Amino acid sequence: MDKETLMQLAREVKQNAYVPYSKFHVGAAFLMKDGQTVTGVNVENVSFGATNCAERTAMFTAMAAGYQKGDFDSVAVAGDTEDFLPPCAICRQVMAELCEPDMQIHLTNAKGEIATYTLREILPLAFTDLDM
C-alpha cells in the first residue's frame, strides 16, 4: 500500500475522534507487515490524563487483534494542522517499544502534503529494552 492510500485511511478515520473539549481530530492508520491496516482516533476525557492519542489507540487495537511487537510496517498520522502533525512523545515511546527503528512515519498537514520520517529520526535517543 502506498503512503497516499494509507494517509487517506488516516484522514477518513479522524472524523470518528471523540474530541468534545479540544475539537482537535486526529486519525492514525498503521499498515501491518501482513498487508492489513489498523486505524485509531484520539479519544478525549474531561480528566485530560485519561485521553488517548490516535496512534496509541491503533497500536493497542492491533495488539488486541493478535499482532505482536515488530508486526508494524508503517503509519500515517492525519490532523488539520498548519505544519506536519507528529506523534506526541508518549506515542513515540510506545512506537519505540512495538515498532522497528526504521519504520516509516507519514505525517500530513491541512494542505494535504505528506512528509515521511523514520521512527529513529523522530525519536533519535529512544529508551528501549536494551536500556534495562
53 annotated among ligand-binding-site residues: yes
Contact 39, 9 (CB under 8 A): yes
Distances (CA, A) of 113 to 2, 17, 47, 80: 14, 21, 33, 11
Q: Residue holding cell 489507540?
A: 57
Pick the closest to residue 51 from 82, 19, 25, 96 (CA basis). Answer: 19
- d(C-alpha 87, C-alpha 54), whole Å: 9
99 annotated among ligand-binding-site residues: no
Q: Does 55 participate in catalysis according to the annotation?
A: yes
Name the catalytic one among 4, 44, 55, 113. Answer: 55
Q: CA angle, corner 61, sides to 78 and 25, nearest 5? A: 25
| C-alpha cell at position 75 | 503509519
Beta-carbon contacts of residue 131 (< 8 Å; ≥ 6 apart) = none
Which parts are annotated binding residues? Answer: 53, 88, 91
Annotated binding residues for Zn(2+), as ranges?
53, 88, 91
Which residues are tagged catalytic? 55
